[in-house]
Amino acid sequence: MRVIEWPQFLEETSPLGGNPSAVTVGIFDGVHRGHQALISQVVSQKPRAAPVIITFRQSSHKKKSGYGHTGDILTFRQKIALFESLGVSLTIVIDFSESFSRMGGADFLQILYEYGNMSFMAVGSDFRCGYQLDTDALLIRELNARRDIPTCIVQPLTEGGLPISSSNIRAAVTRGKLETAGAMLGRPFTIDLLGASSRVNTSGGVAYDIAGSGGILPPPGKYPVLLLDKNSDKINENPVEILVENGSVIIAGDLDGLCPEYVEF
């Protein structure tokens, strides 16, 4: 999978080699089951159109657009790895700048027609884009139809009577309902250790500052987890106990030179 920034997308004459694209857009924090349903729609367009995701650097989008934000479910590298595993060909990354925030939804779509050769689009039923969120899913479908571009509007999925959403997953994690979070994600909740600053604590364990790097954590306490390496392969067959405390994950004991990069709850 290729990953490029929005300015590079605009500068390249043909980022997909002239091939049509099937596009979906969003922050995709969590890449949960609802997101996966969207992504499967664009991936299903292969080989007649290349599946493309347009996404944001999630924390910067939340902060700059004025929404409340309690932390990211995934780091950026986790999100990109999941896109690739789901069959995406190209990811275009937007830094939510002031100029981009003032772009109307119709103008955004116009760019996708001209630069991305868009031939198919999938959006969630509650998706909105453009300056002051001026363009919703129904208007997107109407604008695309004028160019004979089909638009799939995907309805929300539910789990346990709740809509599957990034906000509901954050709420589940921060309340310690990790099974609920995992059911919404479609996989166990996993923390990326690599991007967090670390230090040796007084007990000889290693503390990773997850909150300081913008991630979310379950409530303070002890948790049985699996430690994963850089390839997301298990380091330990049997769960080990970690401590969540003061915004950090603390792994105690001697790891015999092993370097875990992820913690799977």
Q: Which CATH number belongs to the domain containing residue 142 in this structure? A: 3.40.50.620
| 72 in the same domain as 10 | yes
What confidence tens digit (pLDDT) does each residue in 49-62 have? Answer: 999 999 997 554 45
pLDDT-based confidence at 30, cuts 50/70/90? Answer: very high
Task: Give domain status of residue 182, yes or no.
Answer: no
Q: Distance (Å, rounded) from C-alpha 123 to C-alpha 155?
A: 9
Look at residues 75, 54, 190 and name the one whose alpha carbon lies nearest to residue 127: 54
| Per-residue pLDDT tens digits for 137-155 | 999 999 999 999 999 999 9
Does 167 fall in a domain? no
Contact 51, 45 (CB under 8 A): yes
Residue 185 in domain: no
Q: Amino acid letter at 178?
A: L
Domain boundary among 143, 159, 175: 159
Same-domain check for residues 126 and 13:
yes
Per the prediction, the chain carries an average pLDDT of 90
Q: Are 33 and 107 within one domain?
A: yes
Are 191 and 215 a contacting pair, CB within 8 Å? Answer: yes
Total residues found in the chain within this entry: 265
Q: How confident is the model at residue 68 (pLDDT cuts 50, 70, 90)?
A: very low
In a domain? residue 178: no
Last residue of one domain, picked from the residues 159, 181, 208: 159
Number of domains in the chain: 2
Instruction: Work out the angle between the directed axes of helices 137-145 and 105-116 (0-180°, nearest 10).
Output: 50
Residues 148 and 204 in one domain: no
Residue 231 inside a domain? The answer is: yes
pTM for this prediction:
0.91
Domain boundary among 108, 143, 159: 159
Question: Would you say residue 65 has pLDDT above 50?
Answer: no
Q: Which domain holds residue 255?
A: 190-264
Q: Give 207-235 pLDDT, tens digit per residue.
A: 999 999 999 999 999 999 999 998 888 88
The residues that bridge with 101 in the sheet, in sequence order, are: none
d(CA 91, CA 77): 12
- Asked if 152 and 200 sit in the same domain, the reply is no
> For the chain, what percentages of helix, strand and coil (3-state, to nearest 5) are there?
30, 30, 40
76 within some domain? yes
In contact, 133 and 33? CB cutoff 8 Å: no
Listing DSSP states for 42-108 in one string gives HHTTTTTSEEEEEEE-HHHHHHHHT-----BSS-HHHHHHHHHHTT-SEEEEE---HHHHT--HHHH
Same domain, 87 and 209: no
